[in-house]
Amino acid sequence: MEEHEEKKHSEEHLGPARDYWWNDDYLELLARRLNLEYCQTLVDIGCGKGMMGFKFSKYMPAGATAYGVDFEPEYIEEARQRAQSLYNNNINYKFLVGNASDIPLPDNIADITLCQTLLIHVKDPQRVIQEMIRITKPGGWVLALEPNNLVPNLMFDRYGETDLDVESTLEVLEVKLRIEKGKKRLGEGFNSLGDVIPDLFLKAGLRDTKVWISDKALSIIPPYDSAETMLRVEQMISWIESEAMGYHYQDNLNYFMAGGGTKEKFDDYWQKLIYNKFNLKQKLQKGEYISAGGSLIYIVAGRKPRASEL
């Protein structure tokens, strides 16, 4: 599948709960590490509804420009509207429709070029990184905020789960791993790419690569009395009500089989998933679901070399 034909990212994933994806004091720390107070131009590639540009621009100087680029015109339109209504008047927000493999911006324009959960969705992440480097000024930062999405499948929600048999945990892991590998084989990206971004940065010629990890846990703990928890619960219920957490039977079956699995095994797993979803929804509605919400999101920062360093 060509990148520009990629399926539209499930709307729910970019819903209001996404605004709580980072701890504000952690973003402040990142802003210091990346010297955002001197950043005149920031570009967010695969910006969706513009969230990271809005978050980071809080630390940029007055008069600075924050660009966002995404190939979904609807997301770009929503980002433009949010820029008008919600965010910092001292910043020029510019949102463009464009492909990450051919970014519609000139060379050497950005002090920082970033992406968040974009590289996991593209067929050729190395090409996108090269494009990000092209538009970054020599000496500037290229920043990738990308997860390992397999890790959360090994985490337990309730104490009782720690007694479940080894086979059930391994079965879930096998299915998830085959789905990830199959998706990659079909050229639709690799959901746990975060682990290997330093390798891709090195191959692309970036220097001084640093790797950090987000300290945000997406926990759900009763009573659900904060706006953040309520949004997260709402989001989970809407995922459950959509087909299999926002992803569809046919897509997952195709990935699973491309990853070496059989339809019989997948159907067996899918039945269990439907049953588990029903239980999970009931717990959420009764306010009984508890999760520590661990996840693994890397922040990988590499510097574009100056001519004198080449």
Ligand X SMILES: C[S@@+](CC[C@H](N)C(=O)[O-])C[C@H]1O[C@@H](n2cnc3c(N)ncnc32)[C@H](O)[C@@H]1O
Q: How far are the Cα atoms of 67, 97, 144 from residue 56, in angstroms, in the given order?
A: 11, 20, 14
Please, which residue, 176 or 261, has the CB nearer to ligand X?
A: 176
Q: Does 117 bind ligand X (CB under 6 A)?
A: yes
Piece of the chain touching ligand X by CB under 6 A; list 23-31, 76-84, 116-124, 238-246: 116-124
Evaluate whether 218 touches 289 at the Cβ level (below 8 Å): no
Work out which of 70, 111, 131, 188 binds ligand X, going by CB under 6 A: 70
User: Which of residues 49 and 266 has its CB atom nearest to ligand X in the complex?
Assistant: 49
Between residue 121 and residue 150, which ones bind ligand X under the rule CB under 6 A? Answer: 121-122
| The only residue of 39, 48, 218, 252 in contact with ligand X, by rule CB under 6 A | 48
Of 1-9, 173-181, 201-209, 285-293, which segment contacts ligand X by CB under 6 A? 1-9
Does 183 engage in binding with ligand X (CB under 6 A)? Answer: no
Q: 148: exposed, middle or buried (C-beta count within 10 Å: 0-12, 13-18, 19+)?
A: middle
Q: Is 284 in the site for ligand X (CB under 6 A)?
A: no
Do residues 297 and 115 make contact, with C-beta atoms less than 8 angstroms apart?
no
Order of strands across the sheet with 110-116?
92-97, 65-70, 41-45, 110-116, 136-147, 297-303, 207-213
Stretch that binds ligand X, among 83-91, 93-101, 195-203, 246-254 (CB under 6 A): 93-101
C-alpha 278, offset from chain centre: 26
How many chain residues are in contact with ligand X, going by CB under 6 A? 23
> Which residues are registered as beta bridge partners of 96?
69
CB of 233 to ligand X, least distance (A): 20
Sole binder of ligand X in the list 42, 43, 47, 129 (CB under 6 A): 47
Please pick, from the candidates 22, 54, 56, 71, the single residue that binds ligand X as defined by CB under 6 A.
71
Give the three-class secondary structure for 100.
coil
Contact between 3 and ligand X by CB under 6 A: the answer reads: yes
- Please provide the DSSP assignment of 225-271 as one string: -SHHHHHHHHHHHHHHHSTTTT--HHHHHHHHHHTT--HHHHHHHHH
Task: Tell me whether strands 297-303 and 136-147 are parallel, antiparallel or unpaired.
Answer: antiparallel
Residue 242's Cβ-count burial label (10 Å; 0-12, 13-18, 19+) is: middle
303 binds ligand X (CB under 6 A): no
Segment near ligand X (CB under 6 A); pick from 8-16, 34-42, 129-137, 252-260: 8-16
- Of the candidate spans 23-31, 118-126, 261-269, 291-299, the one that interacts with ligand X by CB under 6 A turns out to be 118-126
- When binding is defined by CB under 6 A, the residue of 57, 101, 214, 229 that contacts ligand X is 101
Contact stretch for ligand X (CB under 6 A) within 6-14, 229-237, 261-269, 281-289: 6-14
Interface with ligand X (CB under 6 A), residue from 41, 99, 229, 252: 99
3-state secondary structure 110-157: EEEEEEECCHHHCCCHHHHHHHHHHHEEEEEEEEEEEECCCHHHHCCC
244 Ramachandran zone, left/alpha/beta (phi>0; psi -120 to 50):
left
192 in contact with ligand X (CB under 6 A): no
Which residues would be at the binding site for ligand X (CB under 6 A)?
Answer: 3, 6, 9, 13-14, 18, 46-48, 51-52, 70-72, 75, 99-101, 116-118, 121-122
